Amino acid sequence: MCRLLEPNDYEYNITTLLQSSQNPTECIQPIKPNLSIITSIIDLAGLEIALTARTMRELILKKALKQIQASYDYILIDCPPQLSILTINALSCADYVLIPSKTDYLSYRGIEQLLNTISVTQQECNENLAIMGVIATMYEEKIKDCRDVLSALEENYEVLGVTKKLSIVNKGLYDGLAVTEQSSTNQIALAYDKVCDYIIRKCEVA
Ligand SMILES: Nc1ncnc2c1ncn2[C@@H]1O[C@H](COP(=O)(O)OP(=O)(O)OP(=O)(O)O)[C@@H](O)[C@H]1O
Ligand SMILES: [Mg+2]
């Protein structure tokens, strides 16, 4: 089971890392064997403004992760939905991008914008950045919009997995249980297991 963290309990988090160049090791909290996290607090929007005046502001995360990356097999960077300096920091140091997209039209259109940002980042700061694929989320087979968007995603992108909209996802929120820990056989857990296998295979080959 994961240790459930209260982000406000920690003095050092992703904001202090980005804003005050906090030593990244001090920002990492262990949550279970082989899994640690750097927590985030709500005030990422304020951080965006604070970073505007910084030179090399796109590369702050890259510089920080260089200090710790040898200690980890995988570093996953969760990005805000809007494209911002925080997203660009993530794209500037990542090897791959995984794009979760709800199966609705506006989310589908959002991918185009993200692809533009990825392309600019590839040209300007990270030529190694590659798109791993899309995870189609919140899928509801009964809804025509969902079916149409899933078809369009499959036609245009590499879809690594499809997760249905199911209430079981929210069940573990209060207990700190990932959906894969509530029951390893639920449909969402199986879909994410498949995506994980794909990621591991891809990274082993690379
Ligand atoms: N397959 C699913 N079925 C039902 N609910 C889901 C599913 N996936 C995610 N949710 C719920 O949707 C909400 C948002 O999920 P999540 O935080 O993963 O999305 P997000 O796009 O990263 O959101 P944010 O923009 O806040 O970062 C959560 O309450 C989560 O439990
Ligand atoms: Mg999120």
Q: Considering the domain boundaries, does residue 47 fall inside one? A: yes
Best probe residue, ligand 1, of 138, 169, 187 (max atoms within 8 Å of C-beta): 169
What pLDDT score was predicted for residue 176? 78
What pLDDT score was predicted for residue 122? 96
Q: Which atom of ligand 1 is nearest to the CA of 102?
A: 21
Residue 110 is classified by DSSP as: H
Q: How far is the CA of 178 from the centre of ligand 2 (A)?
A: 14
What pLDDT score was predicted for residue 2? 63
Q: What is the DSSP string of 44-83?
A: HHHHHHHHTT-TTGGGHHHHHHHTTGGG-S-------SS-
Question: Are 181 and 192 in contact, with CB atoms under 8 Å apart?
Answer: no
Total tally of structural domains belonging to the chain: 1
Look at the alpha carbons of 89, 36, 130, 184 in this order and tell me if their dihedral is positive or negative: negative
Q: Considering the domain boundaries, does residue 192 fall inside one? A: no
Q: Considering the domain boundaries, does residue 119 fall inside one? A: no
Question: Are 147 and 108 in contact, with CB atoms under 8 Å apart?
Answer: no
What pLDDT score was predicted for residue 116? 94
Q: Considering the domain boundaries, does residue 110 fall inside one? A: no
Residue 84's nearest CA partner among 102, 61, 109 is 61
Q: Considering the domain boundaries, does residue 57 fall inside one? A: yes
Q: Which atom of ligand 1 is nearest to the CA of 170?
A: 31
| Domain span at 14 | 1-80
Best probe residue, ligand 1, of 87, 102, 166, 170 (max atoms within 8 Å of C-beta): 170
Q: Considering the domain boundaries, does residue 153 fall inside one? A: no
The ligand with the least distance to the CA atom of 139 is: 1
pTM reported for the whole predicted model: 0.92
Q: Considering the domain boundaries, does residue 204 fall inside one? A: no
Residue 184 is classified by DSSP as: T
What pLDDT score was predicted for residue 147? 98
Per-residue pLDDT of the chain (206 residues; tens, 9 = 90+): 666 788 889 999 999 999 888 899 999 999 989 999 999 987 777 888 888 888 899 999 999 999 999 999 999 999 988 888 999 999 999 999 999 999 999 999 999 999 999 999 999 999 999 999 999 999 999 999 999 999 999 999 999 999 999 988 888 887 778 888 888 788 999 999 999 999 999 999 87
Q: How far is the CA of 188 from the centre of ligand 1 (A)?
A: 12
Q: How far is the CA of 78 from the centre of ligand 2 (A)?
A: 6
What pLDDT score was predicted for residue 12? 93
The ligand with the least distance to the CA atom of 137 is: 1
Residues near ligand 1 with C-beta < 6 Å? Answer: 81, 137-138, 163, 165-166, 169-170, 188
Q: How far is the CA of 125 from the centre of ligand 1 (A)?
A: 30
CA distance 16 to 65: 14
Residue 39 is classified by DSSP as: -
Q: Considering the domain boundaries, does residue 33 fall inside one? A: yes
What pLDDT score was predicted for residue 114? 94
What pLDDT score was predicted for residue 70? 96
Question: Are 121 and 85 in contact, with CB atoms under 8 Å apart?
Answer: no
